[in-house]
Amino acid sequence: MHAHEREMHKRVLISNRGEIAIRIARAAHALGIETVGIFAATDALALHPRVTTSSVQIPGDAVSAYLDGARIIEAAKAHGVDCIHPGYGFLAENAQFAAACAASGIAFIGPPVDAIELFGDKVRARALASSLGIPTLAGSAHALASHEEAAAIGQELGFPVMLKAAAGGGGRGMRAVHRAQDMVEAFTRCSSEAKAAFGDGSLFVEKLLVRPRHIEVQVLADCHGAVVHLFERDCSIQLRNQKVVEIAPAPNLDSALRTRLLRDAVTLAKAAGYCNAGTVEFLVSPESNEYYFIECNPRIQVEHTITEQITGVDLVEAQFHIAAGASLGSIGLGDQQVIACRGYAIQARVVAQGPGRITAYKEPSGAGIRVDSCGYSGYEPPPQYDPLFAKLIVTSGANTNFTSAVQRTLLALRDFHIAGLPTNLGQLQAILTDPRVRAGDARTTLLNESPALQYGVPIASAAIALFEQSSATDNGTPRGRAVATPRSLPFADGEQVVLCPMRASVVDVIAVVGATVNAGDALLVLSAMKMETPVTAPCAGVVTAMQSFTVGDTVDEGDAMVVVAPGRGTGVPTRAGNADWTSVLQEV
């Protein structure tokens, strides 16, 4: 046994779902650790409970089941586990859950409670960074009590500003606000999303940096005071603050700037007494060569894969070793100089863009190609969760350039066959052919500046054409899939019926029958793929009919939700868009 290492844990409960739960299970099995998976009833047909040694259903609805720390710890005790790995999202950054694990004698595969508390409070984290001489953006010094306070601080900082969840990340509970009058709606939606995703609706506001790059540094720390970095990742390609494509290392980054970023990330982790894997995130202004700390994520990241590919370090296995008491030196990572960066790696996030069941599925393969996925033929991604279901990770050769990595990724995307489910494969291909991306100069504003990139049409290989021929559909409906009859409502000539554009769940019911509404008024709020979308009145008038919705109800594509009789009111009628997921997301 290495110095500074206790005996490895024997059995882990994975308190997560989807591809990250599968990723953790595989790392654990490679270390000889038994695994216990959990799943909500909604995930009864998911893949992740099938790859663990055993699995247990957690009561509760789709999201609350994975947020129920008490029941998860009960399940852990019942199955005799000695550690819990939270993955990302859900309880991964919940200090109370980590403390409850410790109180139950169960190791938490992640940082200590005080580090989670520190970095879970984005305001405190910024204050620490500033005290260390690390540049930060101007912003609120505390969590905001109301939208009025947020608007006042926005006026003080100068619009535009960014409203952000204080207790989470991943783009949830986050909105750019360009005018004071937009703050009420943005504050309401951000707080609600943050509460649903992280159990805490607290928000803060900071100055919005124009056209930055988003660069993050992977750090690894043991519990004996040693910290190393594993280089950086460029996560600038984002859609509605959700990362779409990530690159390691960051191409076209000034070498002196890179040195400062890596140094500051290690300095911050050491000052915080950090232990385990973490990511320190910065915004970079290439024009001025300035950078600003924005947050530290005290957990494994979705994009940890590309760091693994360029360094050869299995980060999840390292997490298990460190949680068992290993020093970085004992696992061969004690000297920063021995951690080398070879070639480039690109991760493309494959997401569902609407409801559907996968009727055919084949992942690309070949040298330098890795796929982390929970997809399979027959799988229907539940709309209550993040739409990510597969990550394509492509690595260039050690002596090749960034262009080679981009070209390899494009070829792999063309060989990824997913039938029966609308996905973003075309979008990913369009992004990777953009000259700004290929030049290593993508900004976080890329997809807003060039919205056509969002609607790229997939370019398929000859192999895909063969696969499509074999999985042909009849009348646009995948074979073997029943077509549900949409719910209807009575309406008279001239009345306008609001139809549900995608399968979703109801998170708020605002309107009632008989209410007078103006064009654009919110009638109810839906949540699909963990994004909240207000359903608005198509015209001014009176609500004459409405489904008897309660919070948590599921609404299917094509369901009639509300009927409005046009009448007196204010506002301009909203133009009806295409009834698909993309148009609704655009409203956000």
Active site includes 299? yes
What the block records as the tokens of 200 is 């805490």
Catalytic residue among 213, 299, 443, 503: 299
Burial bucket for residue 462 (CB in 10 Å: 0-12, 13-18, 19+): exposed
Distances (CA, A) of 222 to 32, 116, 270, 315, 334: 21, 15, 10, 13, 9
Burial bucket for residue 296 (CB in 10 Å: 0-12, 13-18, 19+): buried
Rg (CA), the chain: 24
In sequence order, the 6+-apart residues with CB closer than 8 A to the CB of 446 are: 236, 237, 238, 431, 434, 436, 437, 453
Element (H, E) at 64: helix 64-67
Cβ pair 359, 145 in contact under 8 A: no
User: 565 pairs with which residues across the strands?
Assistant: 542
d(CA 235, CA 444): 8
Q: Which residue reads 């948590």 in tokens?
A: 552
495 to 86, 164, 165, 535: CA distances (angstroms)? 49, 39, 39, 17
Instruction: Tell me the Ramachandran region of residue 345: left when phi exceeds 0, alpha when psi lies from -120 to 50, beta otherwise.
Output: beta
Question: Could you tell me if 307 and 234 are in contact, meaning their C-beta atoms sit under 8 angstroms apart?
Answer: no
Report helix, strand or coil for 20. Answer: helix
Alpha carbons within 13 angstroms on the beta-carbon side of residue 52 total: 31
Residue carrying the six token digits 């957690």: 58
CA distances from 439 to 181, 402, 430 (A): 38, 9, 15
For the chain, give percent helix, strand, coil, nearest 5.
Answer: 30, 25, 45
DSSP assignment, residue 199? S
- So which residues are the catalytic ones? 299
